[in-house]
Structure 1
Amino acid sequence: MSKTVRPVESVWNYPRPPRLEPTSSRLRVIWESKDGGEKRTVAETTKGYRVLETSHPPTYYFPPSSIDMSLLRPSTARRTMCEWKGQATYHDLVLPSDNSTIAARGRAWSYPEPVPEFKSIKDYLCFYASPQSKVGTWRCYVDDDEVTAQEGDFYGSWVTPEITGGERGFKGGPGTMGW
Structure 2
Amino acid sequence: MSRPAPHPVAAGQESVWDYPRPPRIETVDRRVTIDLGGERILDTSDVVRVLETSHPPVYYVPIAAFSDGSLLPARGSSFCEFKGSARYFDVHGGDRTAQGAGWNYPTPARGYELLADRVAVYAGKMDRCTVDGEEVVPQPGGFYGGWVTSDIVGPFKGEPGTMGW
TM-score, length of structure 2 as denominator length: 0.88
Aligned partner of 1:66 in structure 2 is: 65
Mapped pair 1:139 → 2:139: no
Runs of 4+ in 1 over 6 A off after TM superposition: none
- 1:18-66 CA deviation, whole Å, 9 max, x = no partner? 10000110011011x3xxxxx2111121111000000000000001221
Mapped pair 1:164 → 2:153: yes
RMSD: 1.5
- Say how many residue pairs are matched: 155
CA contact (8 A) 2:90 2:102 kept: yes
SS in 1 for 2:113: helix
Amino acid in the other structure paired with 1:43: L
CA contact (8 A) 2:20 2:52 kept: yes
Aligned partner of 1:43 in structure 2 is: 42
State the identity %. Answer: 44
> Separation in 2 of the partners of 1:69 and 1:127?
16
SS in 2 for 1:130: helix
Instruction: Trace 1:21-36 onto structure 2 (pairs within 5 A).
Output: 21-31=26-36, 33=37
* Structure 1 runs not aligned, ≥5 long: 1-5, 34-38, 132-136
Aligned partner of 2:123 in structure 1 is: 129
Q: CA deviation at 1:171?
A: 0.5
* Structure 2 runs not aligned, ≥5 long: 1-10
